[in-house]
Amino acid sequence: MDFHKRHVILESVRNQVEQALLASGREMAGLRELAREAAAEIEALSPFIEQHTSAVCPDCERVCCLDRHSYHELDDIVYLYSLGERPPVYRQDILDTEPCQFLGELGCRLRRSLRPHRCNWFFCAPLLDRIQSLPARDYRAFIAGLEEINRRRERLITAFGDIMRKGPCDPGHLKGVSDEIFFT
């Protein structure tokens, strides 16, 4: 998908999410709390992940972090706005197949809790092998942390869907428009 079309779709999704959240009034406080809890869990898990990515990623011959994956999808946008944040501005001069625009020499330049969710959940085979070689207790704690992040995000997205159903926008339509960015 060309950048202009992607940009138009993203702006439409952002505007609809922003308007729904502005109109949600008191319900926004609940969304904000769910997003803060998820962000705290993500940041708590970040040192563990960085310990392993710093050992695996510098020697990688093939970059996993491609620009195609740098875009925040609907659930990410809801999460970011609920935190009081906005998605980053995306560069137009990068092909989808090039390394991610946010990838620097020391890894991602975005704070872990502000990255697209797929970035926090993707573990290449060498990274996963390293993490799985840990003592079972450490590995189970890591998996439990990831599961807790997903539970909190799921509660956030469900609550947002409830808000959207009360308002002028169909959440299913919004999800379909957002998915067009990633699956076409």
DSSP 98-132: SBPTTEETTEESS-GGGS-HHHHH---HHHHHHHH
Query: Per residue in 99-123, pLDDT tens?
Result: 999 998 888 999 999 999 999 888 9
DSSP element (H, E) containing 161? helix 136-166
Give Cα 175 distance to the centre of its chain: 15
Query: Per residue in 36-46, pLDDT tens?
Result: 999 999 999 99
- pLDDT score for 173: 62
Angle (CA) 92 85 71, round 5°: 35
Going by the DSSP 8-state scheme, the letter that residue 69 receives in this structure is G
At residue 155 the predicted structure's pLDDT band, cuts being 50, 70 and 90, is very high
Domain limits for position 67: 3-183
At residue 171 the predicted structure's pLDDT band, cuts being 50, 70 and 90, is low
Query: Per residue in 19-62, pLDDT tens?
Result: 777 777 777 888 999 999 999 999 999 999 999 999 998 888 88
DSSP element (H, E) containing 108? strand 107-108
Name the domain count of the chain. Answer: 1
- pLDDT score for 62: 83
At residue 178 the predicted structure's pLDDT band, cuts being 50, 70 and 90, is low
What mean pLDDT is reported for the chain?
86
Average pLDDT over every residue of 8-24: 78
